[in-house]
Structure 1
């Protein structure tokens, strides 16, 4: 078992693009200046439904420094600095990311074993990735992830959908998503509110996960109850509920989240 460094490592970052089917992905990496930085499996981050690399803000650098691991984040097609998505989101888009995009990313980034970590729907993609790469995913971390379609989730999305009818709110999102902002909102709300998506769950993927699991969740998450982390971690790992915390724990409780992930990875 490896142990985290007694002092956070200095971190260097780099940006580049990777071609995948459908377009180019923007990728950013944070590499700690630590002898163990290349020995430990890197952490692959999956962003949320309206997220992108830049919206992780300082979290990836903090995580790389605290864990002495390479951290990699990327913008999915249609988000951030990646190319526009070539069409509508298919209803199997969560599982499709693991099957169609992640293999190319791992190959181009020369990553063998890794840790999957995702926020919100990105947590679902991390679960699907851990299931698809059973022998290579060494640990799984979800942050405010959904495991099924819950009334609370749909209610939160409907509130957000109405909010984005305000041009000012859409303009704030466009600072990160550019001219893809409207597509991102419509893709998110359209997929989750579709009657055909109502039966979606992570149950099949969770049954295939073989690595240790940490499920982080805020007790005030407006997009999902405590049933989500309970289902994700059941028989596989640990639930860490964060008090007085909403849907973005890595911004609301960054120190706590970084410490929890660091301790979890040190134990695995």
Structure 2
């Protein structure tokens, strides 16, 4: 794994990349996979999954911390309600430019899955395939209830320290961005449908059977509105398959990408 910082006018973007054993051929022949993290996530919280994915697919894997998260620069103020649709024009665009990614695969977890959908539509010239994992396509009571439960848990003494280990003094901003945006009036009625309609590349939808932030209606909606398998892949896990069943997740993605550029 190689980690470094991309300098931008908005501040540094922390990036890491992993390569399979035959990294040279992977870069030449297969599109790299770019990972987009969830609402409380960062590069470090992908844990062992990027390395597993690189070996399983024979592709380079790139992950980055969005602005305001992990080891990237702080975000200047509150995160706007348009943050999902904005991401392809922000840090993702800088990462693509830095690596001169003519072609790539977008893989996103949770809200990062929504961002990956937006990336596939807004960067259709380069996105060869799309994978969403535990993504939300619309707001449902389970989503909001799960967020409120997590907010209450982080209010317990010392609990915020779990976020501070990865986000430092940005931890409170990270938590409030998640809770406040999803419960805001501006976000009420949000749906991913317009972005899903712009996806033209093959897409794979993956979801956990016991996901506490989204029912199976979420992946079914994504699969129905994107090219690719009509039925989502349902795993026997919760909201974080890359932590709960990483080997199985990597194998499923590898199978989907087999034979693709």
**What's the TM-score, normalizing by structure 1?**
0.92
The equivalent of 2:64 in structure 1 is: 74
Q: Which runs of 5+ in 2 are unaligned?
A: none
Distance 1:229 1:44 in 2: 20
The equivalent of 2:235 in structure 1 is: 242
Of 25, 32, 40, 1:36 maps to 25
Q: Which runs of 5+ in 1 are unaligned?
A: 1-12
Of 5, 12, 15, 1:24 maps to 12
The equivalent of 1:4 in structure 2 is: none
- Structure 1 moving runs of 4+ over 4 Å: none
Of 241, 250, 253, 2:245 maps to 253
Offset, 1:46: 0.3
Distance 1:267 1:154 in 2: 39
Distance 2:91 2:244 in 1: 29
Offset, 1:214: 0.7
Asked whether the equivalents of residues 105 and 130 of structure 2 are also in contact (C-alpha less than 8 Å), the reply is: yes
The equivalent of 1:155 in structure 2 is: 145
Of 49, 52, 64, 1:59 maps to 49
Aligned-residue CA RMSD (Å): 1.1
Distance 1:85 1:14 in 2: 24
Offset, 1:168: 1.6
Distance 2:19 2:116 in 1: 21
**What's the TM-score, normalizing by structure 2?**
0.95
1:210-225 → structure 2 map (5 Å cutoff): 210-225=200-215
**Deviates further, 38-47 or 161-170:** 161-170
1:113-262 → structure 2 map (5 Å cutoff): 113-234=103-224, 235-238=226-229, 239-243=232-236, 245-262=237-254
SS of corresponding position for 1:16: strand
Deviation string, structure 1 residues 3-52 (Cα, Å, up to 9, x no partner): xxxxxxxxxx2111112342111000002231531120000000000000
> Residue 93 in 1 paired to residue 86 in 2?
no
Asked whether the equivalents of residues 151 and 179 of structure 2 are also in contact (C-alpha less than 8 Å), the reply is: yes
